[in-house]
Amino acid sequence: MTETNTSALNPSGDPIRVGVYVCHCGGNISDIIDTKAVAAELAGHPNVAVSNDYMFMCSDPGQALIIDDIKANHINRVVVAACSPTLHELTFRKALHRAGLNPYLFEHVNIREQASWVHKGDHEGATRKAVRLVAAGVEKVVRQDELFPIKVGVEPHVVVVGGGVAGMSAAVALAGRGLGVTLVEKGVALGGRVADLDRVYPTEERGADLVQDLTRQVGGHSRIDVRLGSEVVGLDGHVGKFAVTVRASSVASEDQDRLVRAGAIVIATGFDHYRPAQGEHGFGESPAVITLPDFQSALRQCPASQTSLQANGRSVRSVAFIHCVGSRQIDGVHAPQADGKVNDYCSRTCCTATLHTIRQVQSRFPDVDVYDLHKDIRTYGRGHEAYYEEASRAGALFFRFPDDEPPTFAASTGGKCAGTITTRDILTWGEELEIPVDLVVLATGMVPRDIASLIDLRKLPVGADRFLQEVHPKLRPVEIGVAGILLAGACQGPMDINEACTAAQTAAVKAAILLANPTIELDPFVAVVDGERCDGCEKCLAECEYKGALTMADLQLAGATVRRAVVNPAMCVGCGACVAACPPRAVNVAGWTLDQFDAMVDAIVAEDVGALAHTECRAGVRHIEFAVISGGN
């Protein structure tokens, strides 16, 4: 334990006065944790001037309670014990700012996810743990210096990567807000997957017409520069001032690369269709088994005057559609993909797309028998259920197979039909069926497009489903963990056209807000190097994963030229890898210093909160131990 010192002072010389506020979270916390006992225990801390509990600290009255205490009781540090900081840390920082206090003199302690929710069967233990976590927060905040946002200049230009409907929608929206746009498309034409579609649901418009309209808007805007047959091969700089290298596929010399400077980047690279494995439901073994995209293409090319459905040179009298091919896969039932994982996610759009196609078949070829084989049907969009009802009324037969028993197809030789589907039907209490069909259509799901080279340029976050990972699906749905890079469309997960264009509009608005002012303010939680302690060993550089965030430079120190580590705060993400690698403890992350970690560990293992106080912390490696305790939001 450290020695106590009850005369903790601000740099101004005023005593440190901490306000502690424990949230009930509407019962999420207070039903398990004795919040009044936590507040009372922390009131005994020598640096705590006010300690209260309240039903909803994030509410307007809850924030007003903090603001009033700051003004009336001269509170100069605040600790809120509540839910995850990902939800309301910014809320409380803004409250401090409104009260005239530096918003970074604040610590958010998560006692919901880290105490009440994980210790529902031990109320007393959860309360004791909450006391220690809040005490650790107090010890951290009393050692917190004032921090100020990092300000970076802005380039009022956006690079949009991908020229499908999402990319084009984003480009048009951005240009309409006065920003310059470079639209980079790898293919030789704009439009992406939608250009391959005939009629789209729910409007029944032609895919080609949608693409043509968007292409006209893109081409008619003076602020949009379209780069076809090109791709992004370099990405340097940081939010506000990215340097993007765009290379045309026909150009072999790097000297002819085009450098585009942009304040933000929108990724709209789209998706690929799942390609069934050899033998999956007979695919690749029988020409009678095709994918839904191939079948839709064949329908589009079929003349309107044709009265019978044809496939492989013969009339099709019956067709079966099998759902969830490449989606909602199960370990041990379905073969894994190249990375050893199965596609356990739902592709969301396949059910409606299948039913929409069934209705086209029924409308054009009413004599064809239609069978639909599914695990269940998820027509989640407004009006999409109507396709199921219409298909059923028009005579389509629906069979529901068990999750772990997908249908099998066996081709016939010389028979009246192309083959037979064998399946069990849950709707008829497990009856085994054999369905003779002339054609099998596999409703294949969406898989992420291979953009590994783009991901590697900036270590873009990828989810378990291999799509790009947003920060939060509800609170920050088009943002990723790399500042200034936004997502649009199916690059982040399966979406239909409406959803992709909505996401594109959202990304455009986010980018426009980000670039609305001459400078951008970034959080100051970045690495800081103490030049007097740094010995120039460069071990920190070996650990830094972010190009340009940490470099070596010659500096003048005590009249001598020395080589020291230097941080570019606009490119540093505050991961702390350099901190762990520095033998003389010369590197810290602002707001998360080693001394703060040491003090937090002491608070967690202390037996008496009242014995704790602000002190000079000793050197050591206790921060490594605490990293395990405090992990997670």
CATH of 157-270+449-520, one of 3.20.20.70, 3.50.50.60, 3.40.630.30, 3.20.20.80: 3.50.50.60
Alpha carbon distance 560, 563 (integer Å): 10
According to the model, what pLDDT value does residue 320 have?
98
Q: Is the peptide bond before 202 cis (omega within 30 degrees of 0)?
A: yes
Alpha carbon distance 250, 587 (integer Å): 46
Fold annotation for 6-148: Rossmann fold (3.40.50)
According to the model, what pLDDT value does residue 547 have?
85
Q: Which of 467, 421, 477 is nearest to 446 (CA)?
A: 467
Q: Mark the ranges of the chain whose per-residue pLDDT is less than 70.
A: 1-9, 11-12, 251, 253-255, 610-633
Alpha carbon distance 608, 556 (integer Å): 47
Q: Do domains 6-148 and 277-445 have the same CATH topology?
A: no
According to the model, what pLDDT value does residue 255 have?
60
H-helix segments, 180-229: 207-219
DSSP, collapsed to helix, strand or coil, labels residue 156 as: coil
Q: Whole-prediction pTM value?
A: 0.83
What DSSP line would sit under 560-605, residue for residue? EEEEEEEE-TTT-----HHHHH-TT--EEETTB-HHHHHHHHHHHH
| Amino acid (one-letter) located at 402 | P
According to the model, what pLDDT value does residue 254 have?
60
- What is the per-residue pLDDT across 46-74, written as a single tens digit (0 to 9) for each? 999 999 999 999 999 999 999 999 999 99
Task: Spell out the residues 6+ positions from residue 178 whose beta carbon is closer than 8 angstroms to its own.
Answer: 156, 223, 512
Alpha carbon distance 354, 410 (integer Å): 22
Looking at 568-612, which runs of residues are DSSP E strands? 587-589
**291: which strand partners?**
442
**In a 10 Å sphere around its CB, with 0-12 CB exposed, 13-18 middle and 19+ buried, how is residue 523 labelled?**
middle
According to the model, what pLDDT value does residue 286 have?
95
- What is the per-residue pLDDT across 98-132, written as a single tens digit (0 to 9) for each? 999 999 999 999 999 999 999 999 999 999 999 99
- What is the per-residue pLDDT across 552-594, written as a single tens digit (0 to 9) for each? 999 988 889 999 999 999 999 999 999 999 999 999 999 999 9
Domain boundaries, the chain: 6-148, 157-270+449-520, 277-445
**In a 10 Å sphere around its CB, with 0-12 CB exposed, 13-18 middle and 19+ buried, how is residue 555 labelled?**
middle
Assigned token pair, 141: 């905040």
The CATH H-level superfamily of 277-445 is FAD/NAD(P)-binding domain (3.50.50.60)
Assigned token pair, 338: 């190249």
Q: Which of 240, 230, 267 is nearest to 155 (CA)?
A: 240
DSSP, collapsed to helix, strand or coil, labels residue 59 as: coil
Alpha carbon distance 392, 257 (integer Å): 56
According to the model, what pLDDT value does residue 612 have?
61
**In a 10 Å sphere around its CB, with 0-12 CB exposed, 13-18 middle and 19+ buried, how is residue 15 labelled?**
middle
Q: How many CA atoms lie within 13 A of 105 on its CB side?
A: 21
Question: Residue 462's CB: how many other CB atoms inside 10 A?
Answer: 15
| Chain-centre distance for alpha carbon 68 | 37
